[in-house]
Amino acid sequence: MSIKIALAGNPNSGKTTLFNGLTGSNQFVGNWPGVTVEKKEGKLKGHKDVTITDLPGIYSLSPYTLEEVVARNYLINEKPDVILNIVDGTNIERNLYLSTQLIELGIPVVMAVNMIDIMEKSGDKISIKNLKESLGCEVVEISALKGKGIKEAANKAVELAKKPNHEMVHKFDKKVEDAIEKVEEKIAFDIPKEQQRFFAIKLLERDDKIKEQMKTVPDVENEIKQLEDAFDDDTESIITNERYTYISSVIGKCVSKGNKGELTTSDKIDKIVTNRWLALPIFAVVMFIVYYVSVTTVGTWATDWANEGVFGDGWHLFGIGTSSYEDASGDYEKQTTAVDAFIEAAKDKGISTDNIEEVLGDEEASEADKTAAVDAFVAEAGVSDITAKAELEDEDGKVTDKFDVTVNDFKAATEAEEPDPADYGVWVPGVPVLIGNLLDSLNCADWLSGLILDGIVAGVGAVLGFVPQMLVLFIFLAFLESCGYMARIAFIMDRIFRKFGLSGKSFIPMLIGSGCGVPGIMASRTIENDRDRKMTIMTTTFVPCGAKLPIIALIAGAFFNNSGWVSTSAYFVGIAAIICSGIILKKTKMFAGDPAPFVMELPAYHWPTLGNVLRSMWERGWSFIKKAGTIILLSTIILWFLMSFGWVDGKFGMLEAEQLNDSILASIGSVIAPIFTPLGWTKAGEGWKMAVAAITGLIAKENVVATFGMLFGFAEVAEDGTEIWGNLAQVMTPIAAYGFLVFNLLCAPCFAAMGAIKREMNNTKWFFTAIGYQTILGYLVALCIYQIGTLVTAGTFGIGTVVAFAIVLVFIYLLFRPYKESNTLNVNIKKASAK
């Protein structure tokens, strides 16, 4: 016999932790039929025939949010065998509101009182026996975080499913109960007996959506009128008050508070982290640390290993042989520096060096040719008298060594051979090397070899190379969410957002959007106010999602020496764009009005388990990897074709590497490129590459890095030993590069997120308004960054600079102009006073 268990509870009650603890890796994630709310199912550990369905986190079974409707419809229509109701013991009064509704459904309920360990520390006590008697359901103490009692709760649920036992204990005021009984009589023939009380209450509350579940809807207006006349209130408020009256009586019998009047550990922490003056600086420091470690230190080390090792030439296993190779590389660098210094000294004396430079720079030149060229150069008049001064520098440009180079030193240096890392220690070849060797052994056609190596491996590899960095970031975000700090951030941001016309509820979608914009956009459904919801949808994708992290890391590495401020500023640029958009848009007729009130539970602080943090990290990371294996793979194949074929001398065919500017891709990019000329993407005549990369980012933001990987040869390390992105740094100034980064952060998101915006807006006009606003804002901000930044750093002034300052002035005006609605209201008030 298969058993269905529904897991229900409030948000932040520990429901996800309990679900993970009961199912482990036996989970299936999808969407509920007809909606985009996430559906999680899993098999109970040790029970192949027991399926646990994790319902969305909800506060009640009222039809206020889509999550509540989804959960309610599942419980009514699917009729699971038992409900496992998880309750936060530290906030039991608020959680019992949902519990009373679940019990009314007529489905057996097992209540799992969670966070019992935290309650014990605070001195609070719950009488399980009294709670069981008061509610009429099984009650178990658990600590989902520590795994305490969760097996017992699951076993109780399985037992109850096999031997159902449901008894309705709680009762309301006699007048309310009389009204409920009358409605039950009217629906007795259509609704199963065990569900009659729930349906009767919902009909009295004027719940329109419950009527959709019924074949015939009785007239209950008479019962509603009698109740409203008796209590002088609407029926929904009457029943809500009755619930809380009942819950208060239960709390009085079952819960005793310890340490009355004393602050809990969470309260003490909150006095600091949610302090009016300290909250934002602390948040800024926390996010700086998160991005600094993720992008600048640990994340960079891991990404460098992935890019230069796994998707590069290879790496030394466990570092065996690395030090010896580095010593040999240092010696080789000294020899090449000696050669360059000697040749420069010869130039200064007016000696011709064209032939020696050409031969030494030709990788295909034979040893005999090199020897002959060196001998001929040394034999020239004046060469033997040269003593050159050479200097070695580290990555920061500091001189580490100075030495003289004579003609004999020069001759010896030209004979030095670049060390092969494979000759030292235990060398593991990288993916491009292995695949290249395989293709060579199969005598693969040039076009197919180019597609695989220059297209798929270079493109997809450039994206996957940033996975370690992303996993580090996801670990931090998972920790902050699990420990309870991110819930406080929503509370902190509400104080700020409210001043700018947004609700703190808007921050929740933005927080979710830091992982992926699609679920972030969908999370806007929890916002009841339509104007606030639309504005949230328009601005959620301004927060850097996981897919934008590789772009941030790329720009930081190529232009700013992996400086931590680049990644941190990218996050705060997104926040600033949201706040400024809120201020400006709220002053338009489309979005005018007060923001919706913000209500949210703040869970107690706790140390998350390693398993939960790693699981959350892997779910986000795996989603990114799957995208690289599907959308980005297809994109790189198309891009490779467009960049590898074109017309030369009137003939269409496959191009050589140096003919890239004649490709189909270059032709398309050249048409688009002029649009971005004011943004500074045209240095060295290769602006079309920037334009193409930005456009491909609309398919998937990771495509920006994949495109650069193919166009600038990330699979190959430059001869001078620069990073894999050394070639990219030659085509843009750092100011233009930062503008490019900001454009990609703020402009229209990927196709998947656009689809989510289209579904949530449910209106073509609003969809194009959102996409247009995002793209125009990204373009204008990038333009101002480049034009004004170039004026400050290089002193360049032109028409673009004038336009940039004009944009800034208009922006300031829109930001600080008064609300028209407020002025109208004040005028009306003055007129009324005058009368």
Instruction: Say if residue 165 carries a ligand binding annotation.
Output: no
What is the rounded CA–CA span in Å between residue 202 and residue 73? 13
Instruction: Say if residue 127 carries a ligand binding annotation.
Output: no
Rg of the chain in Å (alpha carbons): 33
Instruction: Say if residue 37 carries a ligand binding annotation.
Output: yes
Residue 39 phi, psi (nearest 5): -115, 125
Instruction: Say if residue 115 carries a ligand binding annotation.
Output: yes
Assess contact for 143 and 608: CB atoms under 8 A: no
Instruction: Say if residue 23 carries a ligand binding annotation.
Output: yes
Residue type, 238: I
Q: Which letter does DSSP use for residue 599 in this model?
A: -
What's the Cα-to-Cα distance from 47 to each of 23, 24, 85, 149, 155, rounded to whole Å?
A: 10, 12, 20, 17, 10
Which residue(s) pair with 256 in the sheet? 125
Q: Is the dihedral of CA 185, 188, 191, 195 positive or negative?
A: positive
User: To which residue do tokens 């008479």 refer?
Assistant: 222
Other Cβ atoms closer than 10 A to 271: 11
Enumerate the H helices of 319-419 as residue ranges: 322-348, 354-360, 367-378, 407-414
Assess contact for 250 and 131: CB atoms under 8 A: yes
Instruction: Say if residue 16 carries a ligand binding annotation.
Output: yes
Q: Is the dihedral of CA 419, 422, 424, 428 positive or negative?
A: positive
Instruction: Say if residue 116 carries a ligand binding annotation.
Output: yes
Instruction: Say if residue 297 carries a ligand binding annotation.
Output: no
Instruction: Say if residue 526 carries a ligand binding annotation.
Output: no
Report the candidate in 542, 395, 552, 545 with the shortest Cα–Cα distance to residue 466. 552
Residue type, 497: F
Instruction: Say if residue 117 carries a ligand binding annotation.
Output: yes
Instruction: Say if residue 431 carries a ligand binding annotation.
Output: no
Q: Which letter does DSSP use for residue 499 in this model?
A: H
Instruction: Say if residue 151 carries a ligand binding annotation.
Output: no
Instruction: Say if residue 56 carries a ligand binding annotation.
Output: yes
Q: Is the dihedral of CA 705, 707, 710, 712 positive or negative?
A: negative
Instruction: Say if residue 260 carries a ligand binding annotation.
Output: no
Instruction: Say if residue 15 carries a ligand binding annotation.
Output: yes
**Which residues in 752-817 belong to E strands, given as ranges?**
none
Instruction: Say if residue 123 carries a ligand binding annotation.
Output: no
What is the rounded CA–CA span in Å between residue 527 and residue 537? 10
Instruction: Say if residue 514 carries a ligand binding annotation.
Output: no
The helix or strand, by DSSP H or E, that contains position 803, with its residue range, turns out to be helix 799-816
Instruction: Say if residue 567 carries a ligand binding annotation.
Output: no
Structure tokens, 738: 């930062």
Instruction: Say if residue 255 carries a ligand binding annotation.
Output: no
What is the rounded CA–CA span in Å between residue 79 and residue 62? 18
Instruction: Say if residue 152 carries a ligand binding annotation.
Output: no
Instruction: Say if residue 299 carries a ligand binding annotation.
Output: no
What is the rounded CA–CA span in Å between residue 383 and residue 428? 44
DSSP string computed for 180-210: HHHHHHHTTTTS-GGGHHHHHHHHHTT-HHH
Q: Which letter does DSSP use for residue 645 in this model?
A: E
Assess contact for 396 and 363: CB atoms under 8 A: no
Report the candidate in 39, 35, 7, 37 with the shortest Cα–Cα distance to residue 21. 7
Instruction: Say if residue 124 carries a ligand binding annotation.
Output: no
Binding-site sequence positions for Mg(2+): 20-21, 23-24
Binding-site sequence positions: 9-16, 20-21, 23-24, 34-38, 54-57, 114-117
Binding-site sequence positions for GTP: 9-16, 34-38, 54-57, 114-117
